């Protein structure tokens, strides 16, 4: 489908639902029904089966007409992780139920994967799910859960067979966050904010109809989710010199008195790195809709984390004393992360989390080494041992 065809479809949507006189949610629902929500998704699921990059044409036409968007930053986990997982592993009824309100932002999602005792080894989670009739009873604790305080649903990995090998005994669920057994508690981070939470699950009851994939298929489903997360973090579409490189470049232009050759060299190297990463991400976005993310896509996330940390450090050094100021230390519960909307001190501190969230850089480098480059795998002492017999 050509750009002109997409612009024609957008014009039809705007004519039938003028943004100035149409309720915001009504417009977003109509956009979903027209296949213009995310054109890279399948027909009938808010898309047209095209590539992700084709969405740029639609978004530009709608933005020019003053149409509302779905505030994607407020539901990044739902859009970037839950949605593609549901499309790949969910039943038709599950997709019909969850996808439309997820895209419009009527229902916010979070991720219940990490645990205090599992570290970066997601397959070692101990949160249990026990079948009681046609309902699973879940008990355990999750941590580092972004946005749990606002979420209506969560994607959850729990252990359903402790006697199986650790990767084989997991199952994947949609967890209703309004269950009385769900207790969300804020975790204050280095920035002073509480984006994250620890979540305690006590006799949470989840109908079997909210299981995603087969019993014991949780590791496969979770891996697909994580691959999508890494693309979402490191592979977003953006114009040249946007994001952190744009912020630092502007600081350089605005402070000629603080320029030094050594800083100029660092800035130019990072500008090139950022542009190469942007173009590589654009190649990912141009893949056909049926191509799913894989281990190699972890490189985008590793690169994003490295560049963000190096750029924020360069900005602080460039600004001197001003770079050490912190604009707001108030304990807050932000709905979204805004690097460009805060000061350099915030950006420097927040970027430290980029190499942890979505899989640590060390784990992802191991993944690339083993699964992409074919290098020898690290020794795993618990390989082939039932989970309930392994040391923890």
Token reading at 73: 């930053």
pLDDT of residue 109: 97
pLDDT of residue 95: 97
3-state secondary structure the chain: CCHHHHHHHHHHHHHHCCCCCCCHHHHHHHHHHCCCCCCCCCECCCECCCCHHHHHHHHHHHHHCCCCCCCHHHHHHHHHHHHHHHHHHCCHHHHHHHHHHHHHCCCCEEEECCCCCCCCCHHHCCCEEEEECCEEEEEEEEECCCCHHHCCEEEEEEECCCCCECCCCEEEEEEECCCCCEEEEEECCCCCCCCEEEEEEEEEEEEHHHEECCCCCHHHHHHHHHHHHHHHHHCCCCCCCCHHHHHHHHHHHHCHHHCCHHHHHHHHHHHHHHHHHHHHHHHHHCCCCCCCCCHHHHHHHHHHHHHHHHHHHHHHHHHHHHHHCCCCCCCCCCCCCCCCCCCHHHHHHHHHHHHCCCCCHHHHHHHHHHHHCCCCCCCCCCCCCEHHHCCC
Q: Which CATH architecture has domain 3-104?
A: Orthogonal Bundle (1.10)
For domain 222-372, give the fold: Butyryl-CoA Dehydrogenase, subunit A; domain 3 (1.20.140)
| Residue carrying the six token digits 């008990």 | 139
**Dihedral sign, CA of 166, 122, 229, 213?**
positive
Shortest CA distance to 198 belongs to which of 99, 292, 117, 285?
A: 117
Residue 389 bears catalytic tag: no
Q: Which of 229, 257, 335, 362 is catalytic?
A: 229
pTM of the predicted model as reported, rounded to 2 decimal places? 0.87
**Domain extents for the chain?**
3-104, 109-217, 222-372
pLDDT of residue 291: 66
pLDDT of residue 236: 59
Domain 109-217 is found in CATH 3.30.70.1400: no
> Average pLDDT per run of 10 along the chain, which is 392 residues long?
93 97 97 95 93 89 96 91 95 97 96 89 94 97 93 98 95 98 94 91 98 97 86 67 90 90 94 91 70 75 92 94 80 73 88 86 88 88 86 74
Query: Do 109-217 and 222-372 fold alike per CATH?
Result: no
Strands 196-207 and 135-143: antiparallel
């Amino acid at each position: 489908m050509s750009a002109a065809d997409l612009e024609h479809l957008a014009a039809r949507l705007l004519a039938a639902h003028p943004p100035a006189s149409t309720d915001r949610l009504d417009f977003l629902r109509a956009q979903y029904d027209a296949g213009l929500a995310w054109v890279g998704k399948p027909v009938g699921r808010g898309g047209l089966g095209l590539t992700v990059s084709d969405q740029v044409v639609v978004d530009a036409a709608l933005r020019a007409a003053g149409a509302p968007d779905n505030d994607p930053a407020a539901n990044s986990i739902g859009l970037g992780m839950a949605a593609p997982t549901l499309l790949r592993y969910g039943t038709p009824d599950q997709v019909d139920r969850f996808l439309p309100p997820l895209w419009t932002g009527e229902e916010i999602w979070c991720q219940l994967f990490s645990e205090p005792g599992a570290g970066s080894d997601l397959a070692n989670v101990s949160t249990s799910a026990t079948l009681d009739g046609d309902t699973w009873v879940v008990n355990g604790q999750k941590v580092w859960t972004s946005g749990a305080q606002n979420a209506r649903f969560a994607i959850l990995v729990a252990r359903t067979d402790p006697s199986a090998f650790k990767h084989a005994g997991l199952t994947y669920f949609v967890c209703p966050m309004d269950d009385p057994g769900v207790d969300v508690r804020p975790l204050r981070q280095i920035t002073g904010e509480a984006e994250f939470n620890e979540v305690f699950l006590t006799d949470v009851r989840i109908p079997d109809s909210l299981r995603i994939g087969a019993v014991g298929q949780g590791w496969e489903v979770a891996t697909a989710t994580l691959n999508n997360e890494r693309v979402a973090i490191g592979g977003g579409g953006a114009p040249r010199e946007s994001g952190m490189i744009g912020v630092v470049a502007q600081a350089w232009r605005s402070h000629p008195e603080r320029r030094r050759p050594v800083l100029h060299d660092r800035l130019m190297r990072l500008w090139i790195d950022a542009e190469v990463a942007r173009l590589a991400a654009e190649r990912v976005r141009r893949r056909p809709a049926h191509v799913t993310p894989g281990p190699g896509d972890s490189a985008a996330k590793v690169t994003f984390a490295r560049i963000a940390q190096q750029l924020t450090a360069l900005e602080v050094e460039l600004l001197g004393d001003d770079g050490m100021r912190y604009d707001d230390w108030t304990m807050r519960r932000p709905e979204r992360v805004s690097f460009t909307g805060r000061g350099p001190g915030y950006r420097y501190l927040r970027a430290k989390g980029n190499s942890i969230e979505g899989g640590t850089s060390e784990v992802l480098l191991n993944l690339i080494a083993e699964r992409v480059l074919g290098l020898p795998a690290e020794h795993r002492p618990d390989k082939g041992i039932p989970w309930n017999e392994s040391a923890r």
